[in-house]
Structure 1
Amino acid sequence: MKARVHVMLKDGVLDPQGEAVRHALGALGFEGIRGVRQGKVIELDLADGTGEDTVREMCDKLLANTVIESYRIEML
């Protein structure tokens, strides 16, 4: 069983990496980009029977900084 966790900065939190990507894309000639938000994807290979509640606990304790980040879990 696998789980995929998508972690992104919450709206309103400054994203310096996203801003750097937006600036670099503009320097490469790409136009019309108003903003970029950068996040991370974490794939977990889980033992059978590991539920979404356990993955949520992992996110809350380690995988996401819930003060400034939100996350979404996909059970695969």
Structure 2
Amino acid sequence: MPTIVVDVMPKPEILDPQGKAVSSALPRIGIEGFAQVRQGKRFELTVEGEVTDEVLAAARKAAETLLSNPVIEDVVSVAVEDV
């Protein structure tokens, strides 16, 4: 069955305490070279049948109205995952 992947990230102007915690922890475990970490969300929507334009439009609507909080998050992508 096809899967549609929705990626959601905090808007750039929104503080990301989880990303900041990860960014601070990386050097402590010996991983260097990353200036910033932002943490987002990934949703996988399994589709019954074929992924049509209508199904993608429904996934985009779900992403914008239910899967993300448009006040503080951006929907970064809605795409069919290659299996």
TM above 0.5, one fold? yes
CA distance in 2, matches of 1:75, 1:13: 28
Residues 1:55 and 2:65 are matched in the alignment: no
Q: Percent identity?
A: 39
Q: How many pairs align?
A: 76
Q: C-alpha distance in 1, partners of 2:31/2:5?
A: 30
Amino acid of the residue matched to residue 64 of structure 2? D
Q: 2: distance between equivalents of 1:7 and 1:59?
A: 8
The Cα RMSD (Å) is: 1.5
Unaligned runs of 5+ in 2: none
Identify the residue that residue 74 of structure 1 maps to in structure 2.
79
TM-score in terms of structure 2 length: 0.79
